[in-house]
Each structure stands twice: as C-alpha cells, then as structure tokens.
Chain A
Amino acid sequence: MEREGVIKLVILLSPVLAVLTSVVLGRYPLSPLGVYEAVASWFAPYLVHSPPEVAKVIVVDYRLPRILTAAVVGAALSVSGASLQSMFRNPLVSPYILGVSAGAGFGAALSIAFLPPTVPTELTAFVFAVLAFSLTILIARTSSGEIPTISLVLSGIIVTALFSAALSLVKFVTPDPHKLASIVFWLMGSFAASDWGKLARVTPLVLASAAVLVAMRWRFNVLSLSDEEARALGINPARERLIALCACALATSASVAVAGIIGWVGLMIPHIVRLALGPDNRVVVPYSAVLGATYMVLADDIARCLTTEEIPIGILTTLLGIPLFIYLLKRATAVWR
C-alpha cells in the first residue's frame, strides 16, 4: 500500500482505538478486563457475569458518554474548521470566526448567573450561539444579498466583541462568587458534565451538519477559487457558502453548548490532515472529522487523568496546539502560501 493509503487507514482506525483505550483510563483503578466486562454487561447483560456495580456506573454512566461526547465535539469543530478554511480561502480561520463562541459564552454566563437552574445552561448557550451567528450574517450581508468574505470576517469580529463585552458585564454584576467561578470554569471548556442525554442532543445536530459539509467536500475546492472564477464555472458562491456556513455554525454551536469553548482544535486538525494527505477537500473535510474525534478524545484523557484535579480542556488544547502550530507554520509553506 502506498504512503497515503496507510495514513488514511491509520486515521480511520484511530477513533476506534482511542475510544477503546480511553475507556480503560481513569482515576478510579479498573482493570481493562473489568472495563470491557462492564461495557459488555451493559450491552448484553445475560452473556457475561455481572461486574461490580461501581465499575458499571463509572464506565457506562461516566466514561463512555464523556468519551463519545469528546469524539463528537472534536469531529464537529474539525470538520467545520476544514470547511471554513477552504471557503474563506484562508488556512488561519477557526470555527469561532462566526461569533458563535462569544455568543455561547454569554448565553452560558447569563444562565449560570441569573436564570433558574431549571433552564439548562446548554440550552441558553446554544440559543445565543445561533443568535450570534445570525447577527454576524445579518451585519455582513450587503443590500444585494451577497456576503463578501471580508465583511463576514469583520462582522464576526464585531459580534464577538459585542458578546465578549456583554459577558464581562454579566461577570461583573454576578453577586455570587461561586457562580462567577462556574462561569469562568465553563468558559475554559470541559467534558466533565457529559451524560447520555447531552450526547443524544448534540449528536444529531453534529451528524446532520457534518453530513452536509462532507457531501459538499468537492464543492469546497470550487469555492476556494475567487468568487468571479466560481461564478464563471456556473455556481452561485454566495448561496452555497451560506448553506455551508449554516452547517458549520450549527455544528459549532451544539459543540460549544455542551463542552464550552475549546480552542485550536478546528484550526489545527485540518492543517495536519492537509500536510499528511494534501489540500484536496474531498479528503481534507472527511478525514478532519475523523482525526478531530481522535484528537479530542486523547486530549480529554490528559485533562481527566494527568493530575488529581481536572485540567480544563480548553487550556489543554491551546497548550498542545501552540507548539504543534509553530511546527506546522515552519514547514507548511508547501501546503499554502
């Protein structure tokens, strides 16, 4: 098999291996056999003799939903990042360029500080993320209905600034220091609060968006031409870009709502895929989704296992991202200029 085929196979197998390894890892000591017994007893209780209840609770109620949520979020951020980078003709674009992270941050803070606990933080975060994206599009739209790239970038910056200011205001007026701490912790991102319910809510949104983006993967090659060239090829770049933007915003909003703001993943993973497999989006978009899932699962392993206290995953992905990105920057001139 040639090099490219091997790399593709490794990437495709990586999330499976990552999940199988991660489920064994954790601060509560469980033998690998015990872990797989617990999983098996959950799927088919009559086939294996029942493991201790504590093992079942830890593996099935905590580790599995958390690992799978990390995989879904990692895939969502990476597939969005890959799509946005090609659409914007800019390899330095991250999924947060659309204002969704700031919107989600504000929504979450509002909910934690002032709303009754019956309103889930996840819901307000999602609503404000979508609201922020809509505002970004609304500001960027010209009177003729076009969305020029430069307007979109600037309006994303404007909306991010708006919601960041609003977030600061919420933090400033929050009376309860515990709530303030919760807000700060939420903003740094975490999968600690994952459960099956959240996973069930975020997964369909991410799958639907990712399906649209993956189906459009060749089109992103066309959209990475100038608008004039794209129009001369008979396509309507403004319309198609808007559809893809909505898919990216939906996937990112759902991710941020369940996991908080986790930076650098959506920026970095598509780069690694491009370096390994070339810039063709037919490959970059789907393989970014797969590698993103693996990366997030492994990063979360470090977050929950490295020290006795959890490390917020947003800090971790940034710290992991920076050296990798410096390395990429030094040698990636072969992939973009």
Chain B
Amino acid sequence: MEREDRIVIKVADLTYSYRGGIKALKNVSFTIKRGEVVSVVGPNGSGKTTLLKCLLKLLKPQGAVYIDSREIKDISTREIAKIAGYVPQEHHPVFTYRVIDFVALGRAPYHSMFSAPSKEEVSYCLKVLEALGIRELADRAYTTLSGGQAQLVLIARALAQGARILLLDEPTAHLDFSNQVKVLKTIRDIVKEGSVDAAVMTLHDPNQALLFSDKVALLKDGYLVDYGKPEEVLTPDKLSKIYGIELAVLSDGITSAIVPKLQHKN
C-alpha cells in the first residue's frame, strides 16, 4: 500500500533568472504530498507562472525539483509529460478540431514522430471525458465550446497524458463565477478521488485558494513568503502586506471570505 503522506513534489532552493538577469524566483523550497491541492497565490509578476514552468521543465532553473524523489533534470521532457499534465490558461485554437481529437493530443508523449493514437487510446480519452461529465462534447468542435467547457477539455487533455500531477495556470482566469466554482471543484474532486496524486494551480483570487486548496504557496517578488494550510497562510496580515491593500477575513463559522477594507464605505 502506498503511504498517504508520500511526497510527490519537492522543490529545493529554486532560483530562476530570465534573460537580462531579472530574478523571477528566489530560493523557493516546499514539498507537496499525495492527495494535496496546492494553490500558488501572489500579485502579478510574483513568479507564479514561472514556478509552474520550472516544475514542468519548460524552464531550467537553479536548484532542484523532485517528482517522486527523482530529480527532473534526470527525466526527459517526454517522461515528464507522462507524469505531469500542464493545463494552460487558455488555448488559442486555429483549427476547429473535434473535442475528442483535441483530447487525444494528450497522448503525444506516448508516440514517436510517425505514429498516432490507437483505438484503445481514443476510447481511453472518451472515458476521461466521461469521468469529467463532458462525454457529450466529444464530437463538438473545440471552437464552439464555452469558456468553462474549454477549460474542462484542457484538463481532460492533461488527464489523457496519463498524468499523475496536474499543473494548472490560472484555470479560472477567463470564467464566469459559476464556472470558476465548477472547474475548481472538478480539480479538487480529481485529486480527492485519487485520479491524480496532486494538483498545483496558480490563482489570482485568494478566496479560491482559501476554499479549494489544502496548501497555499504565497509568492511575492519571487520569494516564497509563506507555505502551509490556507487558513494559516491567508491571514489579513500577510495578504495585506503582499497585495499592499487593507484586507479582512470574514467568517461565518462554515466558510470564510477575504475582502478588501474600503475606506469610503465606512
């Protein structure tokens, strides 16, 4: 049996500088355990997306990232693609691929330049759609989907990769309120059902992090300011400092909300 508290991702002393020497990440370290949903929160330009790209080996930082105790420097990008599924903020489609064909692109790491997914792989992709409750979209053109549907299809593509870790870049950025909740709930369900080992997502709204994650990584100017349980990390104090505005956390005992303190409303 697998130990439930097994460490899935370990980030050790990660530093990344973009060309021109601007440091986007500075000595970031944390660990993610099996079954955890981790939110990366911070203002624009704090290094959220850079962190995600370092985990995917799309960028080559100093320091180390371990997935299942293997340093990713030693894993080929193709192997990483079988372990970690990337869900971009948005996909800009040029061609109107059918949803099922689009999801099947997730099988790319299992194929050489000259091969294509088999029937079995396509039916696996259909099962993924089924599990996400969007089986009926399979024959629709990707371009005809709503924002929420498109986001779920992107998640389906990552699952089709056979990924055990989901890395999502602002999955709620272009969604309306109900779709934000729906997508975040889906991500949480996928992890809690054990379909994947862990999910890491960058978020703009600390409220979403508060409601949907097990751990929060708070970033500011490339530094990891705090890392831990949402209710411990997302305090009015720390958030006010990070965002530079006065904030308060309201709670009714069941759920909490982070709201700005606006002077003119006194």
List the interface of chain A (C-beta within 8 A of B): 86, 89-91, 215-219, 221-222, 224-226, 228-236, 240, 243, 274, 278-280, 282, 334-337
B111 CB-CB contact with A under 8 Å: yes
Q: Give Cα A71 to B55, complex, Å.
A: 50
Q: Give Cα A35 to B165, complex, Å.
A: 67
Q: Within the complex, what minimum Cβ distance (angstroms) separates B39 from chain A?
A: 20
Q: Give Cα A89 to B94, complex, Å.
A: 6
Q: Give Cα A280 to B116, complex, Å.
A: 12
Q: Within the complex, what minimum Cβ distance (angstroms) separates A256 from chain B?
A: 26
Does A91 lie within 8 Å of B77, measured CB to CB? no
Does B94 lie within 8 Å of A216, measured CB to CB? no
- Cβ of B105: which chain A residues have Cβ within 8 Å of it? 221-222, 225, 233
Does B97 lie within 8 Å of A91, measured CB to CB? no
Does A337 lie within 8 Å of B88, measured CB to CB? no
Does A337 lie within 8 Å of B98, measured CB to CB? no
Closest to A281 in B: B95
Does B95 lie within 8 Å of A216, measured CB to CB? no
Interface residues of B in 84-103 (CB under 8 A from A): 86, 88, 91-98, 101
Does A222 lie within 8 Å of B108, measured CB to CB? yes
B161 CB-CB contact with A under 8 Å: yes
- Cβ of A89: which chain B residues have Cβ within 8 Å of it? 94
Q: Give Cα A215 to B113, complex, Å.
A: 8
Residue of B81, B91, B116, B117 with most chain A CB atoms under a 10 A cut-off: B116
Does B94 lie within 8 Å of A218, measured CB to CB? no
List 13 extra interface pairs beyond A217-B116, A232-B58, CB under 8 A. Answer: A86-B95, A89-B94, A90-B94, A218-B115, A222-B105, A230-B108, A232-B88, A233-B109, A233-B161, A234-B80, A234-B108, A235-B81, A274-B95
Number of residue pairs across A and B with beta carbons under 8 Å? 87
Q: Within the complex, what minimum Cβ distance (angstroms) separates A226 from chain B?
A: 7
Does A219 lie within 8 Å of B113, measured CB to CB? yes
Does A336 lie within 8 Å of B58, measured CB to CB? no
Q: Give Cα A54 to B109, complex, Å.
A: 59
- Cβ of B93: which chain A residues have Cβ within 8 Å of it? 337
Q: Give Cα A336 to B92, complex, Å.
A: 11
Does A224 lie within 8 Å of B108, measured CB to CB? no
B79 CB-CB contact with A under 8 Å: yes
B180 CB-CB contact with A under 8 Å: no
Q: Give Cα A236 to B86, complex, Å.
A: 16
B229 CB-CB contact with A under 8 Å: no
Q: Identify A235's interface contact among B58, B97, B109, B143, CB under 8 A.
A: B109
Closest to A240 in B: B113
Q: Give Cα A221 to B106, complex, Å.
A: 11
B187 CB-CB contact with A under 8 Å: no
- Cβ of B78: which chain A residues have Cβ within 8 Å of it? 234-235
Closest to A86 in B: B95
Does B114 lie within 8 Å of A215, measured CB to CB? yes
Q: Give Cα A269 to B93, complex, Å.
A: 21
Interface residues of B in 55-89 (CB under 8 A from A): 56, 58, 76-82, 86, 88
